[in-house]
Amino acid sequence: MSIFELDITPEALEEAVRALPPSMARLREDLSRLRRDIAEGRPQGVERQHALGKLTARERLDVLLDEGSFVELEMLRRHRAQGLGMDRQRPHTDGVVAGSGTVEGRRVFVYAQDFTVFGGSLGEAHALKIQKVMELALSTGSPFIGLNDSGGARIQEGVMSLNGYGGIFQRFVQASGVIPQISVVLGPCAGGAAYSTALADFTFMAGDTSQLYLTGPDVVEAVTGERVTHAELGGAQVHGGKSGLATFVHDDEESCLLAVRDLLSMLPSNNLGRPPALPPQGATADLRPRLAEIVPAEPHKLYDMRLVMAEIVDDGDYLEVHHGWARNVICALARIDGEVVGVVANQPMVLAGVLDASAAQKAARFVRFCDAFSIPLVTLVDVPGFLPGKDQEHAGVIRHGAKLLYAYCEATVPRISVVIRKAYGGAYIVMDSRSIGTDLALAWPTNEIAVMGAEGAVNVIHRRRLAAAADPAAERAELLEQYRQELIHPTYTAERGLVDDVIDPAETRAALARGLAMLRDKRKHPAPRKHGNVPL
């Protein structure tokens, strides 16, 4: 039993204290007073933090964790640096509050950098505290959360601060794919500290006070001559919409920390467990006729894929990652009949739903996360292809597209794909087609699965015939109808075994729920066999 779980009544504790020798009682009182002073912080530092519109480290932990659950580790830790005035400033905690608590009753390990102490800068002792909670998170199979608010490496401690960052990054990599890792940026996060966000599974940023960059505006101006603000260089909107580094962006700290709790409710504690399930909702018999109204039958008409997702998942509720970045593909965590799933979907409202370098990169990382943590994958397909052009080729669209292809090919979790309308060319293949291993391939009657759309195909195949036709428009119309009837009619791929079933759109939620139930016990590898049972 942990010492933190001992059932000691206040009366018994008071009696034990009275029995202590006077000198021991005084030491206990002194220690209690010291702990209280540390927890309260320096008033001027707390006031400064509040004046900046920020919570203190301990206030943040109060929002994030279940009430009264936090157990602090190494509260009395102090640095041992010499020189540059450091021997005269040795505050306890060394600028980071570290320990463990619970979120909805589930164990997590966490650190919160304290900007009121040395600006939250990272020195040797500071880094060792973070490394300790990371090791405990890994050894106990618990999620790890870092609340970042730091000016970066502590210059006065020289190379030891850099060494501390290296140790933290190494532990991020060791824990990757084993426990969920979440970084929350609630103030400056500069220099080496920025890599702790890139290595995490999910990164949250909050409001105008969070900044994330390798080099600050002063250095940028000194080196390049460009004048830029903190927000323009590395604000939440920049990383949420342009760089893709921020998975979630929120207006303020409280909503950001509450969103971390929401995310954890959909994640397993480690890669050996399953995500928390809720009671089934009877989805296996739930028909949604509105789906046929949401999606136009014509392949070139736009619609919002989020409306389709809302009809398919439980209560219309899903948690979208990277909402502002690469918006032509949607990645989200949701539940279907109580079970957590990862949804990857093309978004026709943005760039007609084409895949480009950023979209492929975004989806690939999400697929790999879901596979690492046993979260089944549902892929909703309506994709006209990869975005053509010089810019995309130079941006490495082939390389990024291969990432998505590789991620799906390697994934061993249950996988179901639904072709809603068009699925053309290489984009059809990489969006979890039967050929790369999806377990269950479904399609709506509006599906068009082909190398390219009818118009493009007719232009290539019958170029000379159209050029010589007396009435090119009539000839084109006839050839288009012939192509559609012969190569992209609704049951073409089903007849060839590339689609398991062509379903009524209203049955999509029910078909997915039945499919997920069927695949729930899918194994990564077949069960080992000692020998077969030969007919003797």
- Strands 248-250, 202-206: pairing kind: parallel
Catalytic-residue membership of 222: no
Instruction: Say whether 90 sits in a helix, a strand or coil.
Output: coil
- For residues 191 and 234, give the distance between their C-alpha atoms in angstroms, rounded to a whole number: 12
Which residues, other chains included, contact 282 with Cβ-Cβ below 8 Å and sequence gap of 6+?
337
Cβ contact 79:125 at 8 Å:
yes
Catalytic-residue membership of 192: yes
**Residue holding tokens 């509450």?**
258
> DSSP letter string over 349-407?
TTGGG-B-HHHHHHHHHHHHHHHHTT--EEEEEEE--BPPSHHHHHTTHHHHHHHHHHH
Catalytic-residue membership of 244: no
DSSP state of 66: P
- Strands 248-250, 440-443: pairing kind: unpaired
Cα torsion 524, 416, 364, 248: sign: negative
Residues 122, 127, 132: CA angle, nearest 5 degrees:
155
The catalytically annotated residue of 206, 427, 510, 511 is 427
Q: Residue 454 has which token pair?
A: 């009818």
Q: Residue 512 has which token pair?
A: 């997915």
Cβ contact 304:366 at 8 Å:
no
The catalytically annotated residue of 426, 456, 469, 506 is 426
Instruction: Say whether 248 sits in a helix, a strand or coil.
Output: strand
- For residues 180 and 270, give the distance between their C-alpha atoms in angstroms, rounded to a whole number: 7
Catalytic-residue membership of 236: no
Q: Which helix (H) or strand (E) holds 286?
A: none
Cβ contact 336:313 at 8 Å:
yes
The catalytically annotated residue of 191, 342, 353, 401 is 191
The closest of 448, 452, 468, 486 to 476, measured between CA atoms, is 468
Report the amino acid identity of residue 180.
P
Beta-bridge partners for 148: 185
The catalytically annotated residue of 41, 146, 192, 342 is 192
Give me the torsion for CA of 101, 235, 219, 49, rounded to 10°. Answer: -50
Catalogue the active-site residues. 191-192, 426-427
